[in-house]
């Protein structure tokens, strides 16, 4: 008994599919891929299926043969079977109405149970993601300590390059956004405090909000969306092109070559950006106060010196290196986690921004509670 086979001839621009051997279910798996390729290639062509050398056929074989004949509605009506016995034709006609795929019943279940399952899966994923990020942080810290012990491991050219691309190039957007936020805070404060005749306290409101929170927080958020996602895209693209594997093969540590320079660059530059953001936020508040409240810049600065202590400025700047570290580590971690496809790269880039923003807000909340406890 011969296994299921077929071959194709071309006669006068007509395809002739010659079916041979045993076309029962057990023999069809080996030729299924080839027969589907033939279906795609023969769409719209006149087709004759020759069954004269068909030895045996069951319902599965008849479905496959009938599927080939009926796979495309644009196929010419002159397509036909030839060489088939009466029994074979009867079986082919019998299976033809059953070619349409069976509708799949949607999964049904208890909505409350499904909600609990999704919550459980989400909690499990968050737990394992936190473990992976903590592990990656440990690897980065260990690599940094090793580099401190051997300073030649620091790649100064790479660090300076990332300081420019991730930090210096971000100055315009950070300055502009901080200026606008400072102006908005001053305007809203002036409107609210005017009800109590206390417009002068707009100076304290703007100064405290910008120096302690908005300056550094806005810079960190913009850097998470701009530079953190760029780190993920850069390292993820290298992962897809197998450049990271090439680094390992040549004896280089990807953490030392790719992650450490980006982390150091961001730790150095974010305090600078936070300072610029704070100054621009104050400038926005000064201009709005001058235009809306007739508080001159000289009076604004003098009032700020009297009412605001320097510790409020340091309370904001101290947070910047922590924000920078978590943004760079999360961005690089997600880039190193990219797997095999552009879709994975897009997903990891989105995760990088979301996780960085969440952790920045979380760390900022921790600092707020810590400052409250130590009265700083």
Q: Is the pLDDT of residue 364 over 60?
A: yes
Predicted local confidence at residue 74, as pLDDT? 47
Q: In 3D, which of 32, 31, 21, 83 has the Cα closest to residue 58?
A: 21
Tens of pLDDT, residues 11-30: 767 778 888 888 888 888 88
Predicted local confidence at residue 100, as pLDDT? 67
Predicted local confidence at residue 78, as pLDDT? 60
Q: Is the pLDDT of residue 317 over 50?
A: yes
Q: In 3D, which of 90, 37, 35, 45 has the Cα closest to residue 65?
A: 35
What CA–CA distance (Å, rounded) separates 190 from 187?
A: 5
**Average confidence (pLDDT) over 194-209:** 82
List the single range of 60-64, 69-73, 212-216 with lowest mean pLDDT: 69-73
Residues 6+ apart with CB under 8 A from 335: 231, 232, 233, 234, 235, 236, 238, 239, 348, 352
Domain locations in the chain?
Answer: 5-98, 125-374
Mean pLDDT for the chain?
A: 86
Q: What is the DSSP letter of 151?
A: G
Looking at the domain 5-98, which fold is it?
Answer: Transcription Regulator spoIIAA (3.30.750)
Predicted local confidence at residue 137, as pLDDT? 93
Total number of residues shown for the chain: 376
Predicted local confidence at residue 73, as pLDDT? 46
Tens of pLDDT, residues 243-265: 998 988 888 889 999 999 999 99
Predicted local confidence at residue 101, as pLDDT? 63
Q: Sheet of 14-23: strands edge to edge?
A: 5-11, 14-23, 47-57, 80-82
């Amino acid at each position: 008994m011969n296994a299921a086979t077929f071959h194709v001839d071309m006669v006068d621009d007509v395809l002739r599919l010659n079916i041979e051997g045993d076309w029962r279910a057990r023999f069809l798996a080996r030729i299924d891929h080839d027969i589907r390729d033939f279906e795609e290639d023969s769409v719209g062509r006149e087709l004759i299926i020759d069954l004269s050398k068909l030895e045996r056929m069951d319902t599965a074989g008849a479905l496959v043969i009938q599927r080939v004949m009926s796979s495309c509605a644009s196929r010419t009506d002159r397509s036909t079977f030839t060489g088939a016995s009466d029994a074979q034709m009867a079986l082919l006609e019998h299976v033809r109405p059953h070619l349409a795929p069976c509708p799949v019943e949607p999964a049904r279940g208890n909505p409350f149970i499904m909600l609990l399952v999704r919550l459980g899966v989400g909690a499990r994923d968050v737990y394992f993601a936190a473990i992976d990020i903590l592990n990656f942080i440990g690897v980065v810290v260990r690599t940094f300590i090793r580099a401190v012990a051997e300073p030649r491991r620091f790649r100064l050219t790479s660090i300076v390059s990332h300081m420019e691309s991730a930090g210096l190039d971000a100055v315009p957007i950070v300055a502009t956004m901080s200026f606008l936020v400072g102006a908005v805070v001053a305007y809203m404060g002036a409107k609210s405090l005017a009800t109590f005749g206390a417009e002068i306290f707009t100076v304290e409101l703007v100064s405290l909000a910008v120096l302690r929170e908005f300056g550094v927080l806005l810079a960190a958020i913009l850097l998470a969306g701009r530079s953190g996602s760029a780190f993920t895209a850069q390292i993820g693209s290298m992962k897809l092109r197998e450049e990271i594997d090439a680094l390992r093969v040549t004896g280089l540590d990807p953490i030392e070559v790719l992650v450490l320079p980006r982390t150091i660059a961001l730790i150095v530059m974010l305090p600078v950006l936070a300072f610029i953001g704070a100054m621009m936020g104050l400038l926005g508040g000064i201009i709005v106060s001058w235009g809306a409240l007739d508080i001159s810049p000289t009076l604004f600065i003098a009032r700020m010196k009297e009412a605001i202590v320097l510790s409020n400025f340091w309370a904001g700047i101290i947070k910047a290196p922590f924000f920078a570290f978590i943004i760079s580590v999360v961005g690089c971690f997600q880039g190193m986690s990219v797997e095999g496809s552009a879709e994975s790269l897009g997903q990891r880039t989105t995760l990088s921004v979301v996780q960085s923003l969440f952790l920045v807000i979380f760390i900022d909340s921790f600092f707020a509670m810590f400052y409250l406890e130590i009265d700083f």
